């Protein structure tokens, strides 16, 4: 290692150590925020193929509160798409690849601080929209660069959302109330997960590379593109650090693992990052200050899982993790292995696996005692007790739930008015558009 590189790493370590001491709201503690007068804390469940969001209570029985049509402008968007050959090609491409034969109408969601609107990314429409929770109408729409919108993150103060534009290798940061872009930055190939840290001072993006190609054999891993973590200053959007996990995995002796970082979870003090990688039934522990991998945990394989990696959705094996507010336990969605488990962060001992239908995400509930997973194969969400790893509640939702996020709605809110969207799915051509 050169002297200059050593100095850069030392400066990075000092900066991150200072950040850990001064951090405000962290990803693990946002869920434990105090109640807001006049607002009901809820969970939004994005039904990706249907284009709706089911809203359920954030704790207890997880009773249904209401439903939001996330594509009230569906006909208008489809007319635009079908009149543009390039947009149509990408629209159909998303359907046949990431969508598994279905359109992707809602991916990620966050509510505004005052609970009057929900902001969502819509992959197949390549945009971010704000839906008014009183009227069900679109407040604003932001078309992302390129042809697909993906994961988002909300700043700790709730005023900005970051969205990955996965085909343009860009993250856009928007004012949550107006949809105006306040900044953007370049990423590696196929930006995916976004996380604000240090009370909103930094923004991390994880690019996952080309996950829709059939070149999934380990020896072809180099064809997957530029996969890296990009850390930027969330005010200037200048790059602070680029982390290529290939070097760190190799140094740990795991040259066999992909360096495509999937869902992540920061410890409450933000000194430790846990993350999943493509094709792996487990997760990696990374020390932020020393910039090195410290432990790797392999979780059980389901013997019924097809070993053919090309059959795993978007190169996932496990996709979804969350951490409880005190950082003592992780909740892991074993997506292709059809189970969920919790893991002690001190010992890395997991609880017995609990069957789940292609769990696609894991979110901490309102009081921090349970994690909520989306069972995309069963059209349900389930609550898992962090301490025991047992499933304690299951609620039916819409078609193919994926992202689950905490949010707020006004007290007494029971859903948006207006007609339900269509069944989503393959959209069935132009039949619903009229003449």
Domains of the chain: 3-409 (2.130.10.10)
Question: How large is the angle between the packed helices 74-82 and 85-96, nearest 10 degrees?
Answer: 110
Q: In sequence order, what are the residues at sequence separation of 6 or more whose Cβ sits closer than 8 angstroms to the Cβ of residue 239?
A: 185, 230, 231, 232
pLDDT tens series, the chain, 435 aa: 333 444 444 444 444 443 333 333 334 334 344 567 899 999 999 999 999 999 999 999 999 999 999 999 999 999 999 999 999 999 999 999 999 999 999 999 999 999 999 999 999 999 999 999 999 999 999 999 999 999 999 999 999 999 999 999 999 999 999 999 999 999 999 999 999 999 999 999 999 999 988 988 988 888 999 999 999 999 999 999 999 999 999 999 999 999 999 999 999 999 999 999 999 999 999 999 999 999 999 999 999 999 999 999 999 999 999 999 999 999 999 999 999 999 999 999 999 999 999 999 999 999 999 999 999 999 999 999 999 999 999 999 999 999 999 999 999 999 998 777 654 444 444 333 332
Instruction: Judge whether 45 and 106 are in contact, CB under 8 Å.
Output: no
Burial 300-338 (b: 16+ CB within 10 A, else e): eeeeebeeeeeebbbbbbbbbbbbbbebbbbbbbbbbbb
**H helices then E strands: how many in the chain?**
4, 28
* Residue 410 β-bridge partners: 39
What's the sign of the alpha-carbon dihedral 111, 112, 114, 118?
Answer: negative
Q: Residue 214's Cα: distance from chain center in Å?
A: 23
User: What local confidence, expressed as pLDDT, does residue 221 receive?
Assistant: 87
Please state, in angstroms and rounded to a whole number, the distance separating the CA atoms of residues 191 and 184.
12
Please state, in angstroms and rounded to a whole number, the distance separating the CA atoms of residues 411 and 37.
9
User: What local confidence, expressed as pLDDT, does residue 37 receive?
Assistant: 84
- Helix intervals (H) in 280-368: none
User: What local confidence, expressed as pLDDT, does residue 419 receive?
Assistant: 73
């Amino acid at each position: 290692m050169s002297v200059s590189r050593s100095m850069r790493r030392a400066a990075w370590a000092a900066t991150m150590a200072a950040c850990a001491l001064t951090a405000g709201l962290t990803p693990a503690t946002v869920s434990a925020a105090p109640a807001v007068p006049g607002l009901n804390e809820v969970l939004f469940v994005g039904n990706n193929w249907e284009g709706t969001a089911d809203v359920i209570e954030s704790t207890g029985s997880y009773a249904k509160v209401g439903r939001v049509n996330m594509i009230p402008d569906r006909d208008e968007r489809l007319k635009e798409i079908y009149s543009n050959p390039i947009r149509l090609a990408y629209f159909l491409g998303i359907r046949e690849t990431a969508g598994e034969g279905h359109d992707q109408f809602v991916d990620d969601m966050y509510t505004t601080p005052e609970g009057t609107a929900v902001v969502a990314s819509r992959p197949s429409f390549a945009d971010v929209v704000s839906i008014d929770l009183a009227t069900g109408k679109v407040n604003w729409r932001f078309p992302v660069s390129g042809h697909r919108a993906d994961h988002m993150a909300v700043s700790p103060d709730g005023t900005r959302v970051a969205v990955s534009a996965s085909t343009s290798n860009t993250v856009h940061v928007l004012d949550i109330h107006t949809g105006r872009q306040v900044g953007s930055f370049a990423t590696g190939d196929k930006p995916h997960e976004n996380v604000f840290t240090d009370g909103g001072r930094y923004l991390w993006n994880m690019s996952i590379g080309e996950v829709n190609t059939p070149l999934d054999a380990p020896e072809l891993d180099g064809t997957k593109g530029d996969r890296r973590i990009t850390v930027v200053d969330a005010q200037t959007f200048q790059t602070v650090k680029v982390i290529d996990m290939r070097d760190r995995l190799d140094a740990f002796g795991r040259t066999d693992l992909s360096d495509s970082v999937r869902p992540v979870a920061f410890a409450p003090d933000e000194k430790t990052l846990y993350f999943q990688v493509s094709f792996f039934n487990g997760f990696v522990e990374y020390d932020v200050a020393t910039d090195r991998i410290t432990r790797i945990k392999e979780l059980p394989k389901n013997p019924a899982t097809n070993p053919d990696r090309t059959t795993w959705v978007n190169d996932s094996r496990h996709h979804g993790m969350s951490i409880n507010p005190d950082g003592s336990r992780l909740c892991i969605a074993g997506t292709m292995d059809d189970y969920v488990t919790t893991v002690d962060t001190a010992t890395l001992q997991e609880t017995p696996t609990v069957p789940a239908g292609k769990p696609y995400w894991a979110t901490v509930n309102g009081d921090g005692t349970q994690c909520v997973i989306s069972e995309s194969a069963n059209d349900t969400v389930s609550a898992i007790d962090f301490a025991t790893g047992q499933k304690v509640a299951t609620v039916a939702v819409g078609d193919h739930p994926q992202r689950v996020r905490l949010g707020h709605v006004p007290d007494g809110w029971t859903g948006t008015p207006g007609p339900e969207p269509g069944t989503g799915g393959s959209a069935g051509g132009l039949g619903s558009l009229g003449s």
